[in-house]
Structure 1
Amino acid sequence: MSASEPVRLGRKRNLPSCPNPLFLAWLTELRDQAREKGLKIQFTYQKAINSLNKYPLPLQNAKEAKILQNFGDGICKILDERLQRYRRENGPDSLPEVLPPPGRPDNNSLAPPRKKNATGDQGKEGGGGGKKKKKKKGREYVPQKRSGGHAVLLTLYRQSQIAGSKGYMFKMELQAEAQLLCDKSFTVPDLGSKYTAWSSVSTLIHKNFIIKTHNPARYSLTEEGVALAERLESVEEDTEDGPEGDGEEARSEEEECGAGLVDLTASDDEEEEDGTPPAERPACVAQQRSEGDGTGLSGKPQNSRATSRKPNAGCLLPGAYEVILCVDFIETTGGSNHHKDELAKELQRNGVKFDVRKLNVGDFLWVAREKVAPVPGQLRAPTGRELVLDYIIERKRMDDLCGSIIDGRFREQKFRLKRCGLRRPCYLVEECGSAASHLSLPETTLQQAIVNTQVVDGFFVKRVQDVRESAAYLTVMTRYLIKLYQNCTLVCRSRELEGDGGSDEEEEEEEERGTPSCSLISFAEFNHGAVKNKCQTVTEVFARQLMQVSGLSGDKAAAILEQYSTPHSLLTAYERCASETQKEKLLSSIRHGTLKRNLGPALSRTVYQLYCTQGALS
């Protein structure tokens, strides 16, 4: 009798039993057979087992399982055949929820720990360890305190509670805000691991707590995510409001840290098979690590430490960053001449700290890189944040200028430089002396293009004689920017946010008074936004179409777009015109540029013919 009592107690613990143990046993058998033969389909069966275990309702046949993930036609067909055979042997009224006959004890023992399909034979052998795991697997998903999932849920929830919130966050701003609530880095993995705190977002998406939409990606909470985040937020508020000196509450916080806020939904091995990151360390371990700083295990000191970092969130204080020149890798590699190697050697000789990387627009720019101390136990120091200063340079040799004018790249490059988000674009023109006389275009045409770039397009143009003078100019600019920004507190802004920062006029007035703009874009966002072949809006494609018309510059195209942002709106305006003459003069009175000149009847007629002529243009 004493030996049977633990079995009865164990059965009482199996309250959340699997509603489809028959299908579960068959899938486990198929997985084990594939594992013995070394077939990769074993992982497909394992994923189907995981999906079936999460489904809370009984299935009448295998066709109903098609709504679950990883259940294809092949798996459903196998299960249906076994189900028909089972019903022939056990009667037509047998249902899948009937427990399988105890003829295969090894199948049950090989089932995942969270499955509740143990028979009586297994209960005798299964040991208390298996039952403990089943008890843990029955608990719902709750991320650990100060883990990546915990920080992301709280950040999205708090942002959604702000009045006028847009209801979603972009990746970079979400990482920046959530980092304050997390002990693990969102960008740099720990030593010996390939996972960061951001890896937990895939788990949140898989469990339907977070939804990811659009490109660039937007992250927002689902209804289940809001409910879980509200619970986490209430726990945070209770921790902050609780008295510090109460020993019983301090112990309850320790128990909550060790058990209440731990992900108990899956084991480490099972998570690795699914491709999701393993469980992060409990928050209490991080709190114990901070005892040397005077903080204990209670939540109050930890939260006070987090709030002390909040004023500097997203900011780089003076002395906490260094100004570095970024050089496009095209400027230092490739080509048939030695000028590119000479540029890097000249910069090194002048003592300029520079970094060669891929720039999607421009050839040179400067970033303020955060100084990050190496972490003990890690091979590489964590990557500091990088904010792009408002100065970008496009370098042009005379032969390159000639080629870019012929193939149309010159106008496109100027358009992209104006749209890159940096307020101080510059052209660095290298005179190649006698080489200009052997080019495809006359030298007067090239000189006129340079003057138009400065006078009409509004770019600052710096002329130098050779690559050594180019390196000297970059050296002087680097030292100037180091001195200009040495006492500035830099704030990260996002081009994706509505109403971000002050107006351009206010920032230009500040810079005219000698105060540089301290609201800067992160390098990752800048370089991603400058991709040449990224997805474009209808308005951007319309602007590119208009700029293909001879004589229609970027300023003129922008003036047209202010009134007609899409081809549809322009064609609708043409349809409203009463006569052909009125259609041809529709755009003639549109003003453009700083002098506010009219577009003119000639260009207006050309655009009308382009969009309204039936058949081929003559």
Structure 2
Amino acid sequence: DCKILCGFGDRLCQMLDEKLDAQNNEQGDESDPDKTIHYIPENIEVRKEKRQLDIKSQKKKSPLSPKRNRKEYNPAYRSGAYAILITLYENCVGNCTSMTKNEIVEKAQNLCDKSFTKPERGSYYTSWSSMKALLEKELVAKHGNPANFCLTASGKDLAVKLYDNNVTQMLEREAIENQAIKNKPTQNIQKENEIVHIGDNLEDKVKTSQSSNKSEKISDFETVLFVPNTFEVRLVVDKQETLGAKEKLQNDPILLELTNLGVPHDVKHLKVGDYVWICRNKETPNVELVLPYVVERKRMDDFGSSIKDGRYHEQKFRLKQCGIQNIIYLIESYGDNTHTGLPLTSLYQAATNTLIHDGFTVKFCENLKGTAHYLHMMTKILKENYESKTIMSCPKVNLEKSTINDDLVPLMNFQEFNQSGAKYKNFTASEMFIKHLVQLKGLSIDKAIAIVEKYPTVKLLKEGCDNDSEETKEIIANIQFGKKKRIGPAISNTLCGFYTSDEFP
């Protein structure tokens, strides 16, 4: 039978027959169906049993592997589980044994960095989801309908440990801060009136710090002076960046983060920018001067929308005209940045253009918490560097660039800053010409402003193109903007072609 198979010859078939005959002689008659049918399965089962016995015997002989020591459950600081345990523990101290879910959420939110009611982008879980783990680990007990929660004995021990560690860390931080204050060299500061009206005595200072033609304009401006350590630096948050209604401000996520970080802040309506810092006198809070820093915050999805509807260029234009020299463009991620309205490559290219061409400082943050921490660090740096300086009010037209190392810092009044950044419906011919130019491809705000300085109106530019097109092209191409950059022939050809051709592509 084997000869019909490929590869089986006479010699191989003979060897197989010999082996089969020898096996049949050992096991008995080949015609016995029971022996021939059940022999192989029985042999396989025996082999399996032997293997199992061998494995068991080897396990018995081998030394027992040491059991891993399970780590004690220790929730992270300001996590959902941490906030729930501390809240229930404080409730136990107050002789109340149990709390409902709403009571826990209301009191635990201030102890947690994430929301108990709203999940983060890309996630379905809130801080309240930690309650499931606490119930499984029998640290919290649940009873009643509606459900009430209380600490078990093991949960109370863990909460006491967390509470003691928190208090110890707070005391250590206070000790370090007090030691730093003691080691800080004291400065002999002559405290005078917090607000000084500039008159004949300070006329010389004003003249030396500014040019003669600008000092004549200041003479009509009522100037105020803040001496060191008589004013406070505070962060101002635009009202449109919050939930809006007064009763909802307490639950606003950005304000909650700033409050937890200890950032002194106010909520006001800003005409331009989303965050600014002001210097407010401690005894006359109605006088507020704006520090030379403004932050425009854009979430990734809003960043894409602003590019598509034109707000991107319009807002950058108003930021440049507001009189603040340090403009920070803060871009915040939107979950995993999959629904941004534009490809990520386009958004990153726009951010790069904002950094290089517009000269803004571009800062990327992962989420709302990262934005709050950045504002906290900026506030801390500005307080350390400006509260020990002398600052004076100055009108926007006379405002000069200042550095953080200057002893006398001129600043703009907050009301003037807000008015200068407002959207006006009535534009001048030059302002409308700038808005018109930036709609053309390749024309940034800086280029448009440089062109308008040479040709203040559309009429003058069109007349130049009609009279001598080649000369006008050369003049426009050689117009300088920014750091000794030229407009270039490509844009000059586009402008002249736009105003002279009957059909422009």
TM-score norm. by structure 1 comes to 0.44
Distance 1:517 1:471, change over 3 A: farther
- Identify which of 392, 397, 422 aligns with 2:324: 422
Please give the alpha-carbon distance, in whole angstroms, between the structure 2 residues aligned to 1:570 and 1:356. 45
SS at match of 1:518: strand
Cα gap change, 1:517 to 1:361, in 2 (>3 Å): farther
Q: Which residue of 1 aligns with 2:291?
A: 389
Asked if 1:372 is matched to 2:263, the reply is no
Q: Which runs of 5+ in 2 are unaligned?
A: 1-199, 201-211
Distance 1:517 1:419, change over 3 A: farther
**Does the 8 A contact of 1:556 with 1:599 survive in 2?**
no
For 1:405, the equivalent position in structure 2 comes to: 307
Structure ranking higher on relative contact order (CA contacts 8 Å, 6+ apart):
2
Instruction: Using the TM superposition, give the Cα deviation of residue 589 of structure 1 relative to its aligned residue in structure 2, in angstroms.
Output: 3.1
Tell me what 1:300 maps to: none
SS in 2 for 1:393: strand
Q: Give the match for residue 327 of structure 1.
A: 237
Aligned to 1:363: 274
Distance 2:217 2:453 in 1: 29
Match of 1:545 among 426, 436, 455: 436
Deviation at 1:533, TM superposition (A): 1.6
Q: Deviations for 1:71-128, whole angstroms, at most 9, x for unmatched residues?
A: xxxxxxxxxxxxxxxxxxxxxxxxxxxxxxxxxxxxxxxxxxxxxxxxxxxxxxxxxx
Paired residue for 2:364, among 425, 446, 463? Answer: 463
Q: 1:445-484: per-residue Cα shift (whole Å, max 9, x none)? A: 1111112211222111111100011111111111111111
The one-letter amino acid of 1:464's match is C
Matches within 5 A, 1:474-489: 474-489=375-390
Matching residue within 396, 410, 415 for 1:519: 410
Write out per-residue CA displacement over residues 237-262 of structure 1, whole angstroms, 9 at most, x where no aligned residue. Answer: xxxxxxxxxxxxxxxxxxxxxxxxxx
Q: Between the two proteins, what is the percent identity of the paired residues?
A: 37
Deviation string 1:349-374 (CA, Å, 9 cap, x unpaired) is 1111111111010000000012226x
Change (3 A) 1:408 1:339: farther
Superposed CA RMSD = 3.4
Corresponding residue number in structure 2 for 1:607: 495
Conservation of the 8 A alpha-carbon contact between 2:239 and 2:267: yes
Instruction: Please give the alpha-carbon distance, in whole angstroms, between the structure 2 residues aligned to 1:165 and 1:595.
Output: 26
- Deviation per residue, 1:208-231 (Å, 9 max, x gap): xxxxxxxxxxxxxxxxxxxxxxxx
What is the alpha-carbon distance in structure 2 between the residues aligned to residue 339 and residue 605 of structure 1? Answer: 56
CA distance in 2: counterparts of 1:320 and 1:534, whole angstroms: 40
Give the Cα–Cα distance (whole angstroms) in 1 for the partners of residues 409 and 416 of structure 2: 17
Instruction: Tell me the CA shift for residue 582 of structure 1.
Output: 4.8
Q: State how far apart, in whole Å, the 1-side matches of 2:481 and 2:369 are.
A: 39
Q: What letter is aligned with 2:478? A: S
Following the alignment from structure 1 to structure 2, what is the Cα–Cα distance between the partners of residues 529 and 582? Answer: 37
The CA distance in 2 between the partners of 1:316 and 1:583, in whole Å, is: 51
Contact (CA 8 Å) 1:372, 1:384: kept in 2 or not?
Answer: no
Task: Give ranges in structure 1 of 5+ residues lacking alignment.
Answer: 1-154, 156-163, 178-312, 374-382
Whole-angstrom distance in 1 between the partners of 2:504 and 2:485: 31
Contact 1:484 1:516 in 2 (8 A): no
1 CA distance for matches of 2:300 and 2:499? 36
Q: Give 2:479's aligned residue.
A: 590
Match of 1:348 in 2: 259
Pairs within 5 Å for 1:129-278: 177=222
Residue 536, structure 1, aligned to residue 447, structure 2: no
- d(CA) in 1 for partners of 2:441, 2:448: 12
Q: State the shift of 1:491 in Å.
A: 0.8
Tell me, in whole angstroms, the C-alpha distance in 1 between the residues paired with 2:448 and 2:345. 26
Structure 2: distance between partners of 1:325 and 1:523: 12
Shift in alpha-carbon separation, 1:393–1:332, aligned structure 2, 3 A? same
Partner SS for 1:362? coil
Cα distance per residue 1:266-316 (max 9 Å; x no partner): xxxxxxxxxxxxxxxxxxxxxxxxxxxxxxxxxxxxxxxxxxxxxxx5111
Question: Which whole-Å CA distance do the structure 1 matches of 2:239 and 2:250 have between them?
Answer: 13
1:409/1:372 CA distance change after superposition, 3 Å: same
Q: Quick check: 2:390–2:408 contact (8 Å CA) kept in 1?
A: no
Secondary structure of the structure 2 residue equivalent to 1:491? strand
Tell me the equivalent position of 2:452: 561
Task: Confirm or deny: 8 A CA contact 2:301 2:339 kept in the other structure.
Answer: no
Does the 8 Å contact 2:250/2:256 carry over to 1? no
Closer/same/farther in 2, CA of residues 583 and 481 from structure 1, 3 Å limit: closer
User: Equivalents in 2 of 1:552, 1:598: separation in Å?
Assistant: 9
Indicate if the aligned counterparts of 1:402 and 1:446 stay in contact, CA closer than 8 A: yes
Seen in structure 2, the aligned counterparts of structure 1 residues 384 and 554 have a Cα distance that, compared at 3 Å, is same
Shift of 1:342: 0.7
8 Å contact 1:324–1:478 — kept in the other structure?
A: yes
In structure 2, the CA distance between the partners of 1:494 and 1:581, relative to structure 1 (3 Å rule), is: closer
State the Cα distance separating 1:345 from its structure 2 match. 0.5
**Counterparts of 2:286 and 2:442, CA distance in 1:** 46
1:572: Cα distance to partner?
3.2
> Alpha-carbon deviation of 1:568?
3.0
Which letter does structure 1 place at the counterpart of 2:265?
Answer: F
Question: What number of residue pairs does the alignment pair up?
Answer: 296
Question: In structure 1, which of residues 411, 426, 431 is the aligned counterpart of residue 333 of structure 2?
Answer: 431
Q: What amino acid does structure 1 have at the position aligned with 2:259?
A: Q
Distance across 2 between alignment mates of 1:165 and 1:409: 37
Q: Name the CA distance, whole Å, in 1 between partners of 2:473 and 2:383.
A: 54
Determine which structure has more spread, i.e. the larger CA radius of gyration. 2
Instruction: Give structure 1 regions of 4+ aligned residues with deviation exceeding 4 angstroms.
Output: 337-340, 580-586
CA distance in 2, matches of 1:470, 1:516: 30
- C-alpha change, 1:332 and 1:516, in structure 2 (3 Å) is farther
- In the alignment, is the contact (CA less than 8 A) between 2:446 and 2:482 conserved in 1? yes
Query: Structure 2: how far apart are the matches of 1:423 and 1:357?
Result: 21
C-alpha change, 1:560 and 1:366, in structure 2 (3 Å) is: same
2:447 touches 2:487 (CA, 8 Å); kept in 1?
no
Output the CA distance in 2 between the equivalents of 1:440 and 1:343. 24
SS in 2 for 1:323: strand
Aligned AA (2:262): G
SS in 2 for 1:429: strand
